[in-house]
Amino acid sequence: MTGIVVVGSLNADLVVRTERFPKPGETLHGSDLAVLPGGKSANQAVAAGRLGGTVRMIGAVGDDGNGALLRDSVAASGADVTHVAVRPGTATGTAVITVDAAGENTIVISGGANATLGPDDLPADAFEGAGVLGLCLEVSIDVVLAAARAARAAGVTVLTNLSPFGDVPAELLELTDVLLVNEHEAAELGEHGVRRSIVTRGGAGCTVHDGDDDPVSIDAVRVDPVDTTGCGDAFMGAVALRLAAGDPLVDAARFAASVGAFAATKAGAQASYPTTAELEQFLRA
């Protein structure tokens, strides 16, 4: 298996559980506040690492307790955090998350140290031994583009998750080999020109478009969700893992659907991601 490089965000997730989401201007009682390791890119790196991938994480955290929490969590998955920079005098990025009784969530992010990540933070040997680059949009578009350009030049597959969704330069789509979006993002994006893509549909599964082949629909693995926070990131990390191993896109997406389902059965993001042994036991149950 070739390596995976993930360039992007690390956030401390500030999580409160409540029966339902508040209406505008309304105050509700919630659970005790939990501070958990998160950030879309860090989540993706951890998901791939816990499943046995060779992963390098490139990002930035502050010189605070949350930064140490995040670096430790990513490293514990087996990922290389050598190039997760620590920014003195800067707060680590955060995500304020509310989870309701059905396991759905709302998320507001504050960039913190993520906003300081730039093209100069990409090491010269970033893609040595790599097969897949994972990108999302929680860091500057400048560093996202720089990473995509360098990966393309190195012959590395560029896997881009257009989340949080927003306008992106046409160049990013041109540099993207595999696009990952949910159904709402796909509708907003419209025609995009990326020949290989996965459109996730929550409980309805996902649809895989692989070049000139007919689209393939993959059913979701049915579970009783506890917390859907980070399930999309688990899916992304699993896709990166299997693409790095040489799997066809349809097989990678089918595997990722099982990983995302497992993650929905446990609270939190990174804490909910399976090892290979845990995933095998889950699928046998």
Which residues are marked as active site? 233
Query: Using alpha carbons only, how large is the chain's radius of gyration in Å?
Result: 18
Peptide bond into 164 cis (omega under 30): yes
CA distance 147 to 127: 9
CA 66 to chain centre: 19
Measured CA to CA in angstroms, residue 256 lies from 75, 127, 134, 145, 203 at distances of 22, 23, 14, 25, 14
Closest CA to 182 of 161, 201, 159: 201
Cβ 70 vs Cβ 46: under 8 Å = no
CA-nearest of 1, 41, 248 to 131 is 1
Nearest to 53 by CA among 169, 134, 161: 134
Q: Phi and psi dihedrals of 222, rounded to 5?
A: -75, 125
